[in-house]
């Protein structure tokens, strides 16, 4: 399949000379005790009830759906309304122990690591076929639990999910070692063996895709898994894992524990019998995960963390096309994307025109029930994210950025926010420094290429970047100069199963997808014979 974007969906200024640190404290962006920034409401419409049934709400351990050891459950909410969709079993340390024990037994004694790689490949392919048959139900669950547009889930994310498992099924029987020449009368083999029991913690913004990014390579390499889903979006991981068992996956190979980070997540990260850990989430939580892994058994950790990605529009750009791609780079998935192009740098000669057109494009963006056809933007995931985004908007206004459009909530229930555009954004503002994770575009002005490279790199993050220019020399200069794991030139959010993804600096450790992801789940063993 050709490389593709994850989706085809394609004023006033208030002066308050306040430092970023004091603004962060004022709006509770670096601590607790937040206050909601309330805004105008619009006429309410009844939400669409999806026809899908919620059939799987228990923990999946050793091939069986079971209650949590404590018997506790937690609610998963519809972000369109804040109402409860279902109550899901709340796993904690005892449940993680049960899941790890099942995964360990399946690895040490079960058929999965010992069966032929070809048979593992066939199970992965059968699973992908089952997902294709259930794509509508899965897309409905994903939208209901997460709030992303149904068209996006069905026509972009589910096909890519299937493609990822086809890709890793193809790799399963092509993982092999080496024969190495050595000095002296020795025969040397280098073996690539499965690492063992993998612990995996996935986020709420792309529940199914992050499941595929982690589960696919781990199973292709012959490992067993304990996966913790995000507490905001537990439903689709349980559904697809049931399909995996229908495809013939042996019991205990894939275990799913729903629960909270400080309990289930911490227990998984610190578990002494987990051989490898993979985490996607915020940089601050990633630090905690890394510390827990180090303090337990020094398990290797893959981290895919936050970003504050620059999108650089050069003076020779086709402005209309640049505006559309910059809009997509930021607003896709309600802005809840770790690699969102959240710092839009525009050359000073085209800046004013770009701002006006970006403002007009944002004003046309359709916001509403994500099950409704033609809707581009649904709600933020929950009240915490909703309030956090609104506080960042207020900090931008008070920091003297110009609010070109948006800035308010949509409706009186649910977690909808107007597409928001700021101009006159300076590098020292909070909205230019911190990951907002919402529909807020910050447009900055630059003059010289060397200058914008330096400014784009002046961040603790280095996940991705975008470059928009007609000049190949400019594109090469920027691509080499930007310290980011992915640089998209004249495009954005192109995700293919074979393209590695990960960050520089505090955007993470290691790479996911492509051949590089296999290395995360393999041990290297040298066998020397005389």
pLDDT tens profile 309-366: 999 999 999 999 999 999 999 999 999 999 999 999 999 999 999 999 999 999 999 9
DSSP E strands: which ranges in 197-253? 197-201, 224-229
pLDDT score for 57: 98
Is the CB of residue 381 less than 8 Å from the CB of residue 231? no
| Torsion, Cα of 457, 513, 271, 177 (10° steps) | -120
What would the mean pLDDT of 165-193 be, rounded to a whole number?
96
Find the helix packing angle between 351-364 and 319-331, rounded to 10°: 50
pLDDT score for 34: 28
Residue located via tokens 């937040």:
34
Give CA–CA dist 37/39, Å, rounded: 7
pLDDT score for 36: 31
Residue located via tokens 């970023």:
20
pLDDT at 177 over 60: yes
Q: Which residues are catalytic?
A: 304
Give CA–CA dist 69/21, Å, rounded: 44
What would the mean pLDDT of 467-488 be, rounded to a whole number?
98
pLDDT score for 11: 29
pLDDT score for 21: 46
What would the mean pLDDT of 251-267 be, rounded to a whole number?
98
pLDDT at 102 over 90: yes
What would the mean pLDDT of 203-229 be, rounded to a whole number?
98
Instruction: Give me the phi and psi of 353, to 5 degrees please.
Output: -65, -40
pTM to 2 decimal places: 0.92
What would the mean pLDDT of 240-249 be, rounded to a whole number?
98
Q: What percent of the chain has pLDDT over 70?
A: 92
The per-residue pLDDT of the chain, averaged, comes to 93
pLDDT score for 45: 77
16 pLDDT band, cuts 50/70/90, is very low
44 pLDDT band, cuts 50/70/90, is low
What would the mean pLDDT of 84-88 be, rounded to a whole number?
98
22 pLDDT band, cuts 50/70/90, is very low
């Amino acid at each position: 399949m050709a490389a593709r974007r994850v989706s085809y969906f394609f004023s006033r200024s208030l002066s308050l000379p306040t430092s970023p640190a004091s603004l962060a404290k004022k709006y509770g962006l670096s601590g607790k005790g937040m206050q909601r920034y309330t805004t105008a409401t619009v006429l309410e419409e009844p939400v669409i009830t999806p026809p899908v049934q919620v059939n799987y709400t228990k923990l999946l351990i050793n091939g069986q759906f079971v209650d949590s050891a404590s018997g506790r459950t937690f609610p998963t909410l519809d972000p369109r309304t804040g109402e409860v969709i279902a109550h899901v079993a709340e796993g904690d340390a005892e449940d993680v122990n049960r899941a790890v024990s099942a995964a360990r037994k399946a690895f040490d004694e079960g058929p999965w690591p010992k069966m032929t790689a070809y048979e593992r490949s066939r199970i992965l392919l059968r699973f992908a076929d089952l997902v294709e048959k259930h794509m509508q139900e899965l897309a409905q669950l994903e939208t209901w639990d997460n709030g992303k547009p149904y068209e996006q889930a069905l026509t972009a994310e589910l096909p890519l999910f299937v493609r990822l498992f086809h890709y890793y099924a193809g790799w399963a029987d092509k993982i092999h070692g080496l024969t190495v020449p050595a000095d002296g009368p020795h025969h040397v083999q280098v073996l690539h063996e499965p690492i063992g029991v993998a612990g995996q913690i996935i986020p709420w913004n792309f529940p199914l895709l992050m499941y595929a990014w982690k589960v696919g390579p781990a199973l292709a390499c012959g490992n067993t898994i304990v996966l913790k889903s995000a507490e905001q979006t537990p439903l689709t991981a349980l559904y697809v894992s049931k399909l995996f068992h229908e495809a013939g996956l042996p019991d205990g190979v894939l275990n799913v524990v729903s629960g909270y980070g400080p309990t289930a997540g911490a227990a998984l990260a610190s578990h002494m019998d987990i051989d490898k850990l993979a985490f996607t989430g915020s940089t601050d939580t990633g630090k905690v995960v890394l510390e827990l892994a180090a303090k337990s058994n020094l398990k290797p950790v893959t981290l895919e963390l936050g970003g504050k990605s620059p999108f650089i529009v050069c003076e020779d750009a086709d402005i209309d096309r640049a505006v559309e791609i910059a809009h997509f780079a930021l607003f896709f998935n309600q802005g809840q994307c770790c690699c969102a192009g959240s710092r839009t740098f525009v050359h000073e000669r085209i800046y004013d025109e770009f701002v006006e057109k970006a403002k007009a494009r944002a004003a046309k963006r359709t916001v509403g029930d994500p099950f409704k056809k033609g809707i581009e933007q649904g709600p933020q995931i929950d009240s915490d994210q909703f309030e956090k985004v609104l506080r960042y908007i207020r900090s931008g206004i008070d920091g003297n950025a110009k609010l070109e459009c948006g800035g308010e909530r949509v409706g009186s229930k649910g977690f909808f926010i107007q597409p928001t555009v700021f101009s006159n954004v300076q590098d020292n503002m909070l909205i230019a420094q911190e990951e907002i994770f919402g529909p807020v575009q910050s447009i900055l002005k630059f003059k010289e290429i060397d200058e914008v490279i330096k400014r784009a790199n002046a961040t603790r993050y280095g996940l991705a970047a975008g470059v928009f220019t007609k000049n190949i020399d400019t594109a090469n200069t920027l691509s080499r100069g930007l310290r980011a794991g992915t640089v998209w030139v004249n495009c954005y959010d192109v995700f293919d199963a074979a393209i590695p993804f990960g960050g520089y600096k505090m955007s993470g450790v290691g790479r996911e997808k492509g051949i590089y992801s296999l290395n995360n789940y393999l041990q290297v063993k040298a066998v020397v014979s005389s």
